[in-house]
């Protein structure tokens, strides 16, 4: 990954955290995908800049959202009744991950993948929409770990031999990951 943008605005982060330092076999830095990790983890300095810009963009006249009290798990939350919801989830700023390469590929994360429903324990009704990104601390091996929430309904193809990643969002499609038959796809 080479940069992160929210609503077209670049998140000011230390670019050296995004490059991989090769220490023997494993290395430090860069970005990793993890379906075992529920939400995307961001190194503290990245998380602070990321959430600051998200809150600023969400408060703009386009969205007009005001941050609510945080929950135990998430620091950026909005009262559910103040957030419009469409077929691609809550209407919030789009998060663009620039993956670099020759063509500058961008992976856009919409509300369905960036926001988490939090229900009120007393009445089990939707109470908050919270930003599904978490502060993972400082001096960690991988500063960005893309979690399962952000991977949901995204079809990904890893071509290890060519060192390429292909992906597409299924949010605007009749195809869903739960209905995807790998054997049918492999026959084509």
E-assigned strand segments in the chain: 3-6, 9-10, 20-21, 28-29, 31-33, 40-42, 77-79, 85-86, 89-90, 95-100, 105-109, 115-119, 126-131, 133-135, 144-146, 154-159, 164-169
For the chain, give every domain's residue range.
Answer: 3-152
Residue 25: the pLDDT is 57
Residue 39: the pLDDT is 96
Mean pLDDT of 18-40: 80
Q: Indicate if the pLDDT at residue 31 is higher than 80.
A: yes
Strands 40-42 and 133-135, bridge-based pairing: parallel
Give the CATH H-level superfamily of domain 3-152: Acid Proteases (2.40.70.10)
Q: Is the pTM of this model over 0.85?
A: no
Torsion of Cα atoms, 79 then 132 then 115 then 175, to 10° = -160
8 Å CB contact between 1 and 31: yes
> Per residue in 76-131, pLDDT tens?
999 999 999 998 899 999 999 988 766 678 889 999 999 999 988 778 777 999 99
């Amino acid at each position: 990954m080479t940069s992160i943008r929210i609503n077209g605005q670049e998140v000011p982060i230390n670019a050296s955290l995004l490059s991989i330092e090769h220490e023997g076999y494993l290395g430090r830095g860069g970005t990793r995908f993890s379906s075992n990790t529920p939400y995307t983890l961001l190194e503290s300095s990245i998380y602070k800049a990321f959430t600051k810009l998200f809150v600023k963009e969400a408060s703009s006249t386009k969205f007009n959202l005001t941050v609510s009290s945080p929950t135990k798990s998430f620091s950026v939350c909005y009262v559910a009744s103040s957030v419009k919801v469409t077929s691609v989830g809550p209407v919030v700023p789009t998060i663009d991950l620039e993956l670099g390469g020759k063509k500058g590929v961008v992976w856009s994360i919409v509300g369905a993948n960036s926001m988490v429903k939090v229900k009120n324990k007393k009445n089990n009704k939707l109470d908050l929409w919270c930003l599904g990104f978490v502060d993972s601390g400082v001096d960690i091996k991988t500063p960005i770990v893309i979690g399962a929430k952000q991977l949901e309904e995204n079809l990904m193809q890893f071509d290890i031999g060519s060192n390429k990643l292909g992906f597409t969002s299924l949010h605007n499609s009749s195809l869903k990951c739960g209905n995807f038959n790998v054997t049918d796809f492999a026959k084509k």
